[in-house]
A and B are shown apart, each in its own frame.
Chain A
Amino acid sequence: MDFAGALSADHLKFLADGFWVTLSIAFISILLSFIIGILLGTLRYAQIPVVSRVVAIYVETIRNMPLLLIIFFTFFALPEVGIKLTVTQAAITALTVFESAMLAEIVRGGLNSIDKGQIEAARSSGLTYIQTLWHIVMPQALRRMVPPIVSQFISLLKDTSLCVIIALPEFMHNAQIIYAQNVNYIIPIFILVAFMYFIVNYALSLVARRLESRQA
């Protein structure tokens, strides 16, 4: 094992670049997923005849697929039907498609947790259904959604590593490039990479727990 060689300044810089890509791809994807997730979750919650059914089928299908397959498919299969994406675009698209289905369920769960009496009260005081959702149900539900969304972001940070299969220059991919040079680098790099993921995700999980206990 060669700790000094594996963790040289150049290598650390290269790993830091990868870690930055992991963070930014995960962050962009969770933002996009949040917007789409709010939309899908609300549509499924609202029980609009055909629309909610279609959304439910979409959400269930995506949630029951491996993310790895979605990433692979987005980058390698979509070009066959004329949709060519760069590695970064494919990574963000695939992660967003998957995560938005996950967030849609969190949103729906948050909306469902609000007492139905509130909707009836709001409706009978003259608000339309949309106004009720927007002014009464959503603000309360959003607060309850925050801890599970932070947890989902932790999953996403971990799952971004699956983008190695499309050679996205993220943390895991850059780590692979370094340890491929020398067998003695493998274990030191693994230790460093695992600890970096651990520190960031553990800190986030403490935040999620804190938020959860404050609400309870």
Chain B
Amino acid sequence: MIDFSILIDHFDTYLEGFKNTILASIIGLIGSFIIGVIIAVMRIAPIKPFNWIGTAYVEFIRNIPLLIIAFFFYVGLPAVGIQLNGFVAGTIALAIYTASFIAEAIRAGILSVPKGQMEAARSSGLTYLQAMKAVILPQAIKIVIPPIGNQFINLVKNSSILGIIAGLDLMYFGDIVSSHTFVTFDVYIFVGLFYLVLTIPLSYGVRYLERRLARSY
């Protein structure tokens, strides 16, 4: 059976990784949300070159593996003289990768607000950006929250790639525990449980929000 003394003896090590996984996920979420909003607005702004940049970003980034982006920051940038540690490189990669999905979710949300609203806001004297900020985005956000929640769950799971580039997350500290105990099976069962502690409540939360926000229409 599973040896719980491993968990008890190395609880601090697990906790260190757990904290860093949460930290990378939260920083990644904030970063990807900011980039995602910018890209989404670029994609629908009435300025052609912005549309192209926005579309190129989304299509390119979401069609390549996250791992390549992470390796680019961890292995590629040092080749041109920029050193980043695993945690920083991995978190930047997470933000850039997830941003492409969040941008699409936000764009879909914005497009779901009837066009007439933008026209009304513009004709009452607001600039495009003001209308976006004061009229369109507050309505779009409701539609956008559940898909962003799902992306956050993916982000938490994807943060495990930090383990590949020495990013001090749960996967990485799992490796440390297993090299101390010479056990792999039990050690990684506990790593899995730590992930579930994060992702299962998030899944239920997203589902709850989906139902609640659906009702408000």
Q: A interface vs B, CB < 8 Å?
A: 60-61, 63-69, 72-73, 76-78, 80-81, 154, 158-159, 161-162, 164-165, 172, 176, 179, 183-184, 186-187, 190, 193-194, 197-198, 201-202, 205
Q: Which residues of A contact B153 (CB under 8 A)?
A: 64
Contact call A172/B196, Cβ cutoff below 8 A: no
Q: Which residues of B contact A154 (CB under 8 A)?
A: 63
Which of B64, B161, B164 has the most CB atoms of chain A within a 10 A radius of its CB? B64
Asked if residues B158 and A60 are in contact (CB atoms below 8 Å), the reply is no
Most A CB within 10 A of own CB, among B68, B76, B187, B188: B68
Task: State whether the Cβ of B20 lies closer than 8 Å to any Cβ in chain A.
Answer: no
A190 lies within 8 A of B163 (CB):
no
Instruction: Label chain A's interface by main secondary structure.
Output: helix
- Partner of A161 from the list B68, B79, B185, B192 (CB cut-off 8 Å) is B68
Question: In the complex the two chains form, what is the Cα distance from A154 to B196 in whole Å?
Answer: 25
Interface positions of B from 53 to 90, Cβ below 8 Å from A: 59-60, 63-68, 71-72, 75-76, 79-80
Interface size class of B (residues with CB under 8 A): 35 or more
| Nearest CB on A from B211, distance (A) | 15
Once bound together, how far apart are the Cα atoms of A77 and B189, in whole Å?
Answer: 9
* Interface core residue of B59, B65, B161 (most chain A CB under 10 Å): B65
Closest 5 pairs between A and B when the two form their complex, measured CB to CB: A66-B160, A201-B63, A64-B199, A158-B65, A161-B65
B157 within 8 A of A: yes
Known: A187-B79, A190-B68; 15 extra A-B contacts, CB below 8 A, are A60-B203, A66-B160, A66-B171, A68-B160, A73-B185, A73-B188, A77-B184, A80-B185, A162-B161, A172-B71, A184-B79, A197-B64, A197-B65, A201-B64, A205-B63
A77 and B185 contacting across the interface, CB-CB below 8 Å: yes
> Cα distance A69–B156 when bound, in Å?
12
How many residue pairs between the two chains, A and B, have CB atoms under 8 Å in the bound complex? 104
CB distance from A57 to the nearest CB of B (A): 11
Instruction: Bits for B75-109, please: 1 = Cβ < 8 Å to A, else 0.
Output: 11001100000000000000000000000000000
Q: How far is the CA of A162 from the CA of B68 in the complex (A)?
A: 10
Instruction: Report the bound CA distance from A69 to B170 in whole Å.
Output: 10
Bound together, the chains give a CA A176 to CA B65 distance in angstroms of 14
**Does the CB pair A165–B164 fall under 8 Å?**
yes
Query: Can you give 24 A-B contacts (C-beta < 8 A)?
Result: A60-B203, A61-B196, A63-B203, A64-B196, A64-B203, A65-B192, A66-B159, A66-B171, A68-B171, A69-B171, A72-B171, A73-B185, A77-B184, A159-B65, A162-B67, A162-B161, A165-B164, A172-B68, A186-B76, A194-B64, A197-B63, A201-B63, A201-B64, A202-B63
